[in-house]
Amino acid sequence: MPSAIIIGSGPAGSITAHELAQNGWDVTVVERGRNLRPGFGEKPSSELETLYSSDEVKSSRHFGFPHPNLEPQVGRSQAEAADGVERSQYGAHQSLGSAVGGTSLHYNAKFPRFWRQDFTMLSDSGPIDGAQVADWPITYEELEPFYDEVEHTIGVQGDTEQMPQFVLDQTPRSRNYPMPPNPTGYAARLMAAGAQTVGYNPFPYPSAVNSREFDGRPACNSCGMCSSFGCPINARGDALTSYLNPAVLTGQVRVIERAHVFKIHTNAAGDTATEIEYYDEDHVAHRLSADKIIIAGSPIQTARLLLLSANDQHPNGLGNGSDQVGRNMMFHYFIIGGAEFSYDVQTLRAQSTTVEVDDLVGPFTDPLATLQGVPYFKGGLIQVGSGLPLMSEAYFYAGLGIPHGAPHKAAMTTSLGRQRIGGIQFVGEDLPQANNRVDLDPSMRDWHGLPIARVTYSPHAHEKAAALYFAPRLEAMCLAAPGAVAAVVLPQPTISDHPSNTAHHAGTARMGNDPATSVCDAQGRLHECQNVHVVDGSLFPTFPGFNPTLTILANALRIARGITQGGV
């Protein structure tokens, strides 16, 4: 029986475990987080319990996330790196979830596909100075059957009948979504009307959220507490319920919790991995071996593990002969916008976001960009209609500098930021840059004593130019919402030289056909180590402006099927 070790139990790891188990593989999944779904591995997914709830205190206390006391995340800008600053950011920013099921336990489950043009950006639109723009080694058409399979397994709501033709043309599909859309939130309807007024084309946001009972799990009741909350009623599709738990129930898969893999060992020639080594929660090291080693740690942690696995044959990190491991770290940037209303527009009553607008995906050319040396730029989708829960609202005012005492009470009573703002978030494409990279911090350690990952990042002129172009359009769209009395937007890349606070990560082990410029081949296999595959978002050569989880799942499924059927 062939065997595999999968490092990380998020979407990429879970779907890979499921596919391998279906084909008779013996699979061990190693996960640094804990299980938060009682009944996991024992009961069918429709009967799983949860430790999550609509509890803002709990989510503010790193529930399901790494704790910064034990696993801090650090970062700095490119300019700071050039000045020799070791790190300027410290805390939990950009830490993805660590739990069995990964970040999919508390994601928003927005499930757009990438567009056909995204796979051929270099060929279609050409290079951009200072960025490593690349084609994907696969086409949209190769990925399409896997998009379809994931949508119908995990359960996605949407409606092709209500999607603009130009979106369908870029995302050809064989059939409609398995579920119709949920009710559209009132605030989202206001903002969608604004989008229509300026000529844009809003449509129902595809989401892995049940609008009716699906796979034994109930329909969403529109509580609104999605982002950073686990779904208390099991209405949201995720990697654990749809893939990992069913995989464990086959008896072919075991999951080791709170196990932190810190090294992949190779044979003397360096071309084959022999073992992985992990620490348990008592800091005791254990070794495991298998035919295949599958890495699914998410981009920052996947790069960290490859770098930690340096040995004589791989002196710069496992599979890093190209010096591309850790480079091309990409974060979507967000332009947050909002329209102010004179009354409560009930932003929290609806699943996280119910309306999508794709009119600003691009590519565009504009004198603004040409002046900055950028020949063209791409944007992304607009998430329309979402709100802040109450405690976040209070922190937001405090962080803006509204003082304690009477001003705080007045702000909370007026509640401009929660009750009276219809929100949008534009998700912008971030270009891959060699100097946006993950490396090992020279001195900071995690609770096992291992070097932590350090992220060096700054936006490219492409993102700054794009943000300047999009901001006034987004502001106008907000102002056009019926009844809007004012609007404001925050074009992140022009405000800060650091990444947005986002869970959308990609790059660091890009796939490509040329071993000199990529880390993995089209099957996710390290060019330099024949039985190690990367299957997560680290593989993405570019990062189009769409929520990435569906594409992470579909691409991992494609690779896993290649492993089981093609013998790769």
Partner 1 sequence: MPKTDLRRRRALQTGGAAAITATMALPGCGNSPNTTDSPVSGPGINPPDNPTVAAKYLNQKQYDSLEALLDRLIPEDISPGATTARCVDHIDAFLAAFETSPAFIYAGAPYSDRGGHPTNEFQRFIPLDKYEEIAWRTTIEGSQGIPEREMNGPIVGLQQIYDEGLAHLDSRAQQQGAECFADLSAAQRDLIINDPSDAAVASFVGTVFGEAIKGMYGAPEYQGNQNFAGWGFTNYDGDVHPRGYSDEQVVNADNPGLFDALLPASYHEGAANKSAQATKPGEFNPPKSLSRKTTSFPVIGSADEMSFLIASSGGDINQLKKLMQNYRNFLQKQEAV
Ranges within 128-187 binding partner 1 (CB under 8 A) = 159, 161-166, 169, 180-186
Of 175 and 404, nearer to partner 1 (C-beta) is 404
Residue 411 corresponds to which tokens in the numbers above? 């702000």
- CA–CA separation, 102 and 34 (whole Å): 10
Q: Does 221 bind partner 1 (CB under 8 A)?
A: yes
Residue (24 or 216) nearer to partner 1, CB: 216
Q: Cβ distance 23 to 247 under 8 Å?
A: no
Amino acid type, 225: M
Of 118-126, 243-251, 474-482, 520-528, the segment contacting partner 1 by CB under 8 A is 474-482
Beta-carbon contacts of residue 84 (< 8 Å; ≥ 6 apart): none
Q: Whose Cβ is closer to partner 1: residue 290's or residue 350's?
A: 350
CB of 110 to partner 1, least distance (A): 11
Among residues 268, 371, 495, 516, the one that binds partner 1 under rule CB under 8 A: 495
- Please select the residue that binds partner 1; options are 395, 513, 514, 565, rule is CB under 8 A: 395
Q: Which residues contact 567 (CB under 8 A, 6 or more apart)?
A: none
Using the minimum distance from each CB to partner 1, give the nearer residue, 273 or 369. 369
* 207/538 with CB nearer partner 1: 207
Residues 409-438 that bind partner 1 (CB under 8 A): 409, 412-419, 421, 423, 425
What per-residue string of b and e applies to 362-377 under the rule 16 or more CB within 10 Å gives b?
bebeeeebeeeebebb
Does position 95 interact with partner 1 (CB under 8 A)? The reply is: yes
Q: Which two tokens stand for residue 392?
A: 């976040």
The CA dihedral of 487, 493, 495, 501, to the nearest 10 degrees, is 90
Residue whose CB is less far from partner 1, 61 or 287: 61
**Comparison of 174 and 443: residue with beta carbon closer to partner 1:** 443
523 binds partner 1 (CB under 8 A): no
Kindly state the smallest distance separating residue 45's Cβ from partner 1, in Å.
15
DSSP for 14-59, please give it.
HHHHHHHHHTT-EEEEE-SSB--STTTTTS-GGG---S--S-HHHH
340-379: contacts with partner 1 (CB under 8 A): 340-341, 343-346, 348-350, 352, 354-355, 358-361
Strand-strand pairing, 292-295 and 3-7 = parallel
Question: Rule CB under 8 A: is residue 94 a binding residue for partner 1?
Answer: yes
Shortest CB 448 distance to partner 1, Å: 8
- Binding of residue 50 to partner 1 (CB under 8 A): yes
Tell me how far, at minimum, the Cβ of 505 lies from partner 1, in Å.
12
CB of 214 to partner 1, least distance (A): 15
Judged by CB under 8 A, does residue 70 bind partner 1?
Answer: yes
Which of these segments, 126-134, 242-250, 314-322, 339-347, binds partner 1 (CB under 8 A)? 339-347
Supply 278's token pair: 């992990």
Chain centroid to Cα 94, Å, comes to: 10
Report the C-alpha gap between 150 and 26 in whole angstroms: 22
Considering the complex, what minimum distance in angstroms separates the CB of residue 99 from partner 1? 11
Return the half-sphere exposure (C-beta side, CA atoms, 13 A cut-off) of residue 220: 31
Nearest Cα neighbor of 353 from 221, 560, 205, 161 is 205
